[in-house]
């Protein structure tokens, strides 16, 4: 190519051919720290840089590869990437095309678990305040687990032994593998939609982190958090913890323990009912005997103990009260008579008849009205004159004011 004039596109194409033709760059593993991370949610592509202490290389992970990641890359995270190096011809920039990515020093599943746990905890899905109590006497228990595992057998055996009155509503699902999270999520939602039970046991037997991974699914965690029916998470063994354990209303170390936590002990409840029965059967008898003895004591200390003596005592008190009433009545009548005499004397002294007895008379006109103004009379008027004893009629000859 010496002496010829090349275009930019030819140079970039030539460099791309050289790099892609080198088999050592077509499938390499490279470690470094993620920086300038950008996640294009619409396309699903991831763009970032990978750097160490001295150098930086541009990198891209397309959506098809990004969807397989178990964790979300973040700036500052140390990773190991498998991919190839090539040139992006339009910009003439060589870059790393990542096909797989793993955290350096921490497994992808463990990292994804910690990331999801931190995010849901920040949203408050693990808060104790939102946990709901389990029903004390469940009539129907929903069981979401594999139909072939030991978990369902353990739950059925424990429930039949402890609380045979409960009905089991069984939802068989996959508990591991690609389709497990969707089936588990739909089972929880279906039980809620139908109101099919009083409590839900969600779980499976033990296994590796990969085996239990379906119970770390974000969609399942949110379905459990949104469940109206209380949910008991019973995944794996006592040392195994999943995201569902933190979101559920109660975490049980094993499926058998979940069945025990969800059910009362039938024999204990039966014994308690018998104790109540004996109590309510015997206590009324004791109460009646106590009241009978109390009545006997009250009768002995009351008039009912000797009715004749009580009647005699009442008669004596009645005679005493009657005599006292008569005496007080007589005294009151005498007092009232004296007061009446005094008032009668005062009234008599003010009587018009006493005035007439001293020689005065009262003159009434023809209408029977006492005359107080002689000027109101006219000659010829007939008047009546009332004296102390008797009455006379007279004719007015002259009327007028009294002269000086």
For tokens 């009668």, name the residue.
344
Tens digit of each residue's pLDDT (9 = 90 or more) over 145-169: 999 988 999 999 999 999 999 999 9
DSSP assigned state of 232? E
Q: For residue 195, what pLDDT is reported?
A: 96
Beta carbons of 378 and 354 less than 8 angstroms apart: no
Average pLDDT score, the chain: 85
* Per-residue pLDDT tens over the stretch 57-93: 999 999 988 888 877 888 878 888 888 888 888 887 8
**Residue 256 binned pLDDT confidence (cut-offs 50, 70, 90):** very high
Distance (Å, whole) CA 121 – CA 288: 61
SS3 279: helix
pLDDT tier, 404 (very low <50, low <70, confident <90, very high otherwise): very low
CATH of domain 8-106: 2.40.50.140
User: Residue 390: enclosing H or E segment and its boundaries?
Assistant: none
The predicted pLDDT at position 346 comes to 77
Q: How far apart are CA 133 and CA 9, in angstroms?
A: 69
Superfamily name with CATH number, domain 114-264: Hypothetical protein af1403; domain 2 (3.40.50.10550)
Give the model's confidence band at 215: pLDDT under 50 very low, under 70 low, under 90 confident, else very high. very high
């Amino acid at each position: 190519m010496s002496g010829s004039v090349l275009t930019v596109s030819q140079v970039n194409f030539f460099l791309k051919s050289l790099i892609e033709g080198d088999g050592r760059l077509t499938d390499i593993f490279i470690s470094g720290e993620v920086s300038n991370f950008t996640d294009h949610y619409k396309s699903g592509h991831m763009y970032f840089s990978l750097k160490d202490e001295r150098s930086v290389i541009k990198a891209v992970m397309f959506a098809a590869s990004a969807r397989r990641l178990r964790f979300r890359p973040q700036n500052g995270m140390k990773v190991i990437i498998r991919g190839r190096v090539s040139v992006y011809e339009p910009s003439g920039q060589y870059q790393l095309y990542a096909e797989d990515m793993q955290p350096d020093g921490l497994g992808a599943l463990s990292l994804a678990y910690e990331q999801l746990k931190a995010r849901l905890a920040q949203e408050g899905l693990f808060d104790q305040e939102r946990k709901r109590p389990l029903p004390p006497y469940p009539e129907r228990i929903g069981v979401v687990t594999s139909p072939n595992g030991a978990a369902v057998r353990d739950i059925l055996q424990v429930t039949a032994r402890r609380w045979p009155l409960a009905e089991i509503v069984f939802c068989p699902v996959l508990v591991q593998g690609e389709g497990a999270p969707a089936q588990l999520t739909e089972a929880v939602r279906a039980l809620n939609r139908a109101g099919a039970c009083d409590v839900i046991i969600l779980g499976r037997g033990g296994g590796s982190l990969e085996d239990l991974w379906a119970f770390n699914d974000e969609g399942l965690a949110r379905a459990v958090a949104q469940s109206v029916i209380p949910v008991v998470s019973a995944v794996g063994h006592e040392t195994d913890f999943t995201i569902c354990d933190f979101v559920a209303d109660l975490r049980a170390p094993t499926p058998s323990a979940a069945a025990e936590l969800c059910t009362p002990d039938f024999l204990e409840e039966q014994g308690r009912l018998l104790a109540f029965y004996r109590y309510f059967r015997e206590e009324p008898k004791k109460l009646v005997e106590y009241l009978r003895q109390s009545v006997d004591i009250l009768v002995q200390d009351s008039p009912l103990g000797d009715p004749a003596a009580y009647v005699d005592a009442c008669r004596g008190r009645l005679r005493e009260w009657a005599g006292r009433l008569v005496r007080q009545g007589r005294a009151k009548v005498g007092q009232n008579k004296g007061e009446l005499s005094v008032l009668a004397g005062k009234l008599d002294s003010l009587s018009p008849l006493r005035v007439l007895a001293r020689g005065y008379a009262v003159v009434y006109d023809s209408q029977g009205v006492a005359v107080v103004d002689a000027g109101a009379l006219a000659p010829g008027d007939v008047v009546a004159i009332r004296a102390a004893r008797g009455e006379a009629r007279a004719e007015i000859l002259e009327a007028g004011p009294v002269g000086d």
